[in-house]
């Protein structure tokens, strides 16, 4: 590579450090442009999905959050089959694993599916009650639960600096709850759902690691079985919770605009898994987490601007504490992984698993 090229920034150098060998032959400008496009795509899909889900869940005419989540799972299953057939028709253009339903595999993945259902349902319920602006803080305890469950279940200890970062996140969470309460916009129901969702995201990572060998380590097969199982299990929940009646009485049930928004929400929910993996592949697991933290910050700012609301300095401080604590934890864990020489592909897989629920 030409030594006369301009000096790279630390962040960009970090992003380029884990690129594949074939990428080293590319020009610096081309690689930087590719990274910028992938990061922008991740931000666009992730932020759009959150706002779109908030729009669907915030409808006063249709109070059926479980049905909306169920429909998104169905869309994911259909997209898996579409990509499966395209991979058969255009093997050189579309790369997707072969799908053949196996009852044994479906049964072994069922415990993960139960956690997965809780994760996406409570994520959406949290978003429904707290809105996009407070969503980052309301769902901020995932990292804290990761540390707690790693010790309780896996007997893995955490370094002092990682625990300190969790303390900053916890402080930001409580300050955010306090400021929402002072402003009169606090929903304890939403906070409760956010805490449970954070716990489920952590459990989802543990169970994902446990069942990955069942699907030969293929994340797309896991997504297919997970969403298929969830689609079946959601049906009795919709009936039991009385949402079927709400759906049938919905006055825009036959409107194409409503179903169009529902389908787009499902497509974005499926696409976030792809762009997350793509961002990790083009940059690194550490850079992906940094990008996710920055995206959350931008998402919060956009939500406040869109709602034309005014927030106190302490409210913004709570958000910054959560984001800085998350960034610090990511950085500390990244340094620790390098010290123990964790294989890049293992690190990338673990990052993809733990980030799965953050964009929901």
Q: Is the pLDDT of residue 21 over 50?
A: no
Average pLDDT over residues 311-325: 92
- How does pLDDT run across 224-255, given as a tens digit for each residue? 999 999 999 999 999 998 999 889 988 888 89
Q: What is the DSSP letter of 7?
A: P
Cα first-last separation, the chain: 40
CB 344 within 8 A of CB 18: yes
Rg, Å, the chain Cα set: 21
CB 49 within 8 A of CB 274: no
**Which of 158 and 346 is assigned the larger pLDDT?**
158
For position 26, what pLDDT does the model report?
58
Q: What are the structure tokens assigned to 87, written together? A: 């991979």
CB 176 within 8 A of CB 139: no
Confidence of residue 341 (pLDDT cuts 50, 70, 90): low
CB 14 within 8 A of CB 284: yes
Rounded CA separation 353/16 (Å): 22
CB 135 within 8 A of CB 124: no
Q: Is the pLDDT of residue 34 over 90?
A: no
Taking CA 116 as the corner, what is the angle to CA 110 and CA 122, rounded to the nearest 5 degrees? Answer: 140
For position 277, what pLDDT does the model report?
74
The percent of residues above 70 in pLDDT, for the chain, comes to 86
Q: What are the structure tokens assigned to 203, written together? A: 């459990």
Rounded CA separation 156/165 (Å): 17
Confidence of residue 292 (pLDDT cuts 50, 70, 90): confident
**Which of 185 and 290 is assigned the larger pLDDT?**
185
Q: What are the structure tokens assigned to 288, written together? A: 């992906």
For position 335, what pLDDT does the model report?
82
For position 357, what pLDDT does the model report?
44
For position 118, what pLDDT does the model report?
93
Alpha helices in the chain (DSSP H): 10-17, 28-57, 65-89, 103-130, 135-138, 142-152, 160-183, 188-211, 219-240, 243-248, 256-282, 285-307, 313-339, 344-354
What Å distances lie between residue 320 and 66, 136, 252, CA to CA? 32, 10, 40
For position 167, what pLDDT does the model report?
93
Q: What are the structure tokens assigned to 134, written together? A: 């407070």
Single out the residue of 50, 233, 37 nearest to residue 135, CA to CA.
50
Of 72-76, 219-223, 322-326, 345-349, the least confident = 345-349
Q: List phi, psi (to 5°) of 59.
A: -65, 125
**Which of 249 and 17 is assigned the larger pLDDT?**
249
Q: Which pTM was predicted?
A: 0.79
Confidence of residue 142 (pLDDT cuts 50, 70, 90): confident
Rounded CA separation 293/316 (Å): 15
């Amino acid at each position: 590579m030409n030594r006369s090229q301009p000096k790279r920034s630390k962040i960009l150098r970090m992003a380029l450090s884990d690129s594949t060998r074939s990428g080293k032959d590319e020009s610096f400008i081309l690689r930087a442009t590719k990274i910028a496009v992938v990061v922008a795509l991740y931000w666009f899909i992730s932020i759009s999905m959150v706002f779109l889900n908030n729009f669907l869940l915030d409808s006063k005419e249709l109070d059926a959050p479980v049905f909306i989540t169920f429909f998104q799972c169905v869309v994911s299953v259909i997209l898996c089959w579409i990509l499966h057939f395209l991979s058969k028709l255009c093997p050189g253009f579309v790369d997707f694993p072969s799908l053949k339903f196996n009852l044994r595999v479906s049964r072994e993945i069922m415990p993960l599916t139960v956690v997965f259902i809780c994760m996406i349902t409570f994520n959406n319920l949290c978003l429904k009650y707290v809105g996009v602006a407070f969503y980052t803080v309301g769902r901020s305890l995932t990292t804290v639960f990761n540390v707690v469950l790693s010790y309780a279940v896996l007997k893995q200890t955490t370094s002092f600096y990682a625990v300190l970062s969790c303390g900053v996140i916890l402080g930001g969470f409580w300050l955010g709850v306090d400021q929402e309460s002072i402003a009169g916009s606090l929903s304890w129901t939403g906070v409760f759902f956010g805490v449970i969702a954070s716990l489920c995201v952590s459990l989802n990572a543990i169970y994902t690691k446990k069942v990955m060998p069942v699907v030969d380590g293929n994340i797309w097969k896991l997504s297919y079985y997970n969403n298929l199982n969830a689609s079946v299990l959601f049906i009795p929940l919709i009936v039991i919770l009385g949402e079927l009646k709400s759906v049938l009485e919905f006055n825009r049930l036959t409107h194409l605009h409503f179903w169009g928004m529902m389908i787009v929400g499902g497509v974005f929910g499926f696409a976030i898994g792809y762009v997350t993996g793509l961002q990790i592949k083009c940059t690194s697991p550490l850079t992906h987490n940094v990008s996710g933290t920055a995206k959350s910050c931008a998402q919060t700012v956009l939500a406040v601007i869109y709602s034309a609301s005014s927030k106190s300095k302490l409210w913004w401080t709570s958000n910054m504490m959560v984001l800085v604590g998350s960034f610090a934890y990511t950085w500390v864990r990244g340094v620790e992984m390098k010290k123990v020489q964790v294989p890049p592909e293992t690190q990338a897989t673990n990052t993809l698993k733990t980030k799965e629920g953050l964009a929901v």
